[in-house]
Each structure stands twice: as structure tokens, then as C-alpha cells.
Structure 1
Amino acid sequence: MDAATRNYLVVTGGYWAFTVTDGAIRMLVVLYFHMLGYSPFEVAMLFLFYEFFGIVTNLVGGWLGARIGLNLTMHIGMGMQVVALLLLTVPNAWLSVPYVMAAQALSGIAKDLNKMSAKASVKTLAGDGGESKLFRWVAVLTGSKNALKGAGFFIGAALLEWISFRGALFV
């Protein structure tokens, strides 16, 4: 296996793993906070910063990736996701709407750093194979995103049922 293919597989594997876990976290948050008695509006508010900071990250992510490198940017995103998860493991009394919104903001930044790094890495890894080769590699990378996120939804719900919210966050 040549180096470009190996690197592509590493990047794709990281992106896929991140996508599954991101879907699981979304479902865990929705279901758990509904179980705690949060209103539908409050549950929706929990994701406001996730989406907003995802947009902001998309605006500055390319600059950041060019400045510090795609590999480091992807690792920063993965590290931020771990921090966001740990922020949700606090006692229930700390889980106010603003606190969870802040944790979700980190998660949104992490998601878009990971996504941007993965897609840009594929472009650099594809090299001189023409747009057809690049298109195929990007299609495999991102084409399965919705299926993987959906699998994450089911995994998140199952983990909540089987081992509790905090237990699922540590898995």
C-alpha cells in the first residue's frame, strides 16, 4: 500500500469515527436532557451554540489549517471533542442551559475542525490524479456521513439505555 492510500485511510477512519461519536453525543444530549425535564425549546437551545460556532469555525478553519497544518488541526478538533464530553460529566446540578450550550459550542468547533481537516487532507493526498480521483476519494469520505451519523444516533440511544448518560460519555 502506498503512503497516499495509507494516509487517506487514516484520515477517513478518523473522520468516520468522529462522525459516529458526534451522532451518538447529539442523541445522548437530546434524550438525556428531555429525561431531565427540559422543555423542547430548552433542548433545542442546547444546540444553538453548536451550530453557530460550527459556522464560525468554517469561516476561520481554512486559515487555521493553512497556518498550523491539517494534521494538527484535526487533532485539536478531536481533543476539543474529548473536553466537550468531559464537560458534560459533571453533576446534574451544574447542567444548566448556558453550561451545556458552552460544552456544545466546543463540540461544534471540534466537529468542523475535524471535517475541514479531513476534506482538505484528502485533496492534498489525492495529488496528481485529476479531479476524477479526487472526486472518488471525497465521495467515499463524505458520502457515508449521514449513514454514520445515523448509526451514531442509535449507538447513543443504546448507550443511554444500557449504561447511563455519564457512562456513555466515558465510552
Structure 2
Amino acid sequence: MLQIISGLSRDVRQYLVITFSYWTFTISDGALRMLVVLYFHQLGYSPLEVAMLFVLYEFFGIVTNLIGGWLAARLGLNVTMHLGLLLQVIALSMLLVDPQWLSVAYVMVAQALSGIAKDLNKMSAKSSIKMLVADDQQSTLYRWIA
């Protein structure tokens, strides 16, 4: 398997690394949100109260989208992708505490970090893939992601 991967072109290997990072992030982010929903539902919170837990997740996702491009231009896409992955690990780790610590405010902070991480990772992955393809070969990009 490693021999097959090492025989691929640099661009294809980069594509695979970026795709694997994005998929890994997506799975962990989905798991985090699902666990939060199920946990607070089990505690007896109403659907609206559970939905309110994600307000900071969405808000900080919007804020991150607003400044993400500037941040990537200053730090680089590789750094912003790794920063997004690190923030997701921190957000997931925040939920490893004693269940008595899992107050609504505490979980909302973890969700806020996860929202920042999501948009840093998403922006970095999409931009990195776009940079792998020359401007005159954009149809190749659509074949790669299809």
C-alpha cells in the first residue's frame, strides 16, 4: 500500500492527505455534535434547549469565515488546517471531564471551539485543493472532487 502511494504524483499525494484530514475532521465533528445532542436529550432538555447549545458553534463559524481568508494569507493554509485540527482535539478533550462539569455554558464553549475549528479546516481544505490544480485545468478539480 505504501509503495502504491509513494508512486503517485506529489499533487495526488497532497490531495489524499488533505482529503484524509478533512474526512477525519468531519467524522470527529459529527460525533461531537451527535454526542452533545444525545447527552442533553437524555438529561431531559427540550429540542429547543438542545438546539441553543449550538448557537456559539454557528456564531463562531460565521466569525471564522469572515477572518479565515485573512488568517490563511498571513499564516498559510497548512497552519490554519493544523490549527483547526488542534482546536477540534481540544474541543473533544473538553468533553472528557466528569459529567457533572458538563454544564450548558461549558459545552457551549466547547462547541464554539469546534465551530472555529470546523471553518478553519473547511476553508483550508477547499483552498488547498483548489491550489493543487492549475487555473487552466479547473475541470480536473471537478473530476477530483466528484
Q: TM-score scaled by structure 1?
A: 0.77
What RMSD in Å do the two structures reach over aligned CA positions?
1.3
Q: Distance in 2 between matches of 1:56 and 1:128?
A: 29
Match of 2:5 in 1: none
Read off the aligned partner of 1:58 and give its amino acid letter: N
| Alignment equivalent of 2:100, drawn from 93, 103, 111 | 93
Read off the aligned partner of 1:123 and give its amino acid letter: K
Match of 1:29 in 2: 36
Q: CA deviation at 1:129?
A: 4.9
Read off the aligned partner of 1:33 and give its amino acid letter: F
| Alignment equivalent of 1:81, drawn from 83, 88, 98 | 88
Match of 2:132 in 1: 125
Contact 1:45–1:97 under 8 Å retained in 2: no
Q: Say whether residues 1:62 and 2:75 are aligned partners.
A: no
CA spacing shift, 1:25–1:51, aligned 2, 3 Å: same
Q: CA deviation at 1:93?
A: 2.1
Please list the CA deviations of residues 14-36 of structure 1 after superposition, one character each: whole Å capped at 9, or x if unmatched: 11111122111111110111112
Larger Rg: 2
Identical columns (%)? 67
Q: Distance in 1 between matches of 2:11 and 2:108?
A: 39
Q: Distance in 2 between matches of 1:112 and 1:57?
A: 6
Read off the aligned partner of 1:14 and give its amino acid letter: S
Q: Distance in 1 between matches of 2:28 and 2:99?
A: 22
Q: Secondary structure of 1:37's match? A: coil
| Alignment equivalent of 1:72, drawn from 70, 73, 79 | 79
Please list the CA deviations of residues 19-76 of structure 1 after superposition, one character each: whole Å capped at 9, or x if unmatched: 1221111111101111122222221111111111111111111111111010110000
Please list the CA deviations of residues 81-129 of structure 1 after superposition, one character each: whole Å capped at 9, or x if unmatched: 0100111122222211111111100001001100000000001111255
Q: Distance in 1 between matches of 2:28 and 2:129?
A: 21
Q: Say whether residues 1:52 and 2:21 are aligned partners.
A: no
Q: Distance in 1 between matches of 2:66 and 2:13?
A: 29
Q: TM-score scaled by structure 2?
A: 0.89
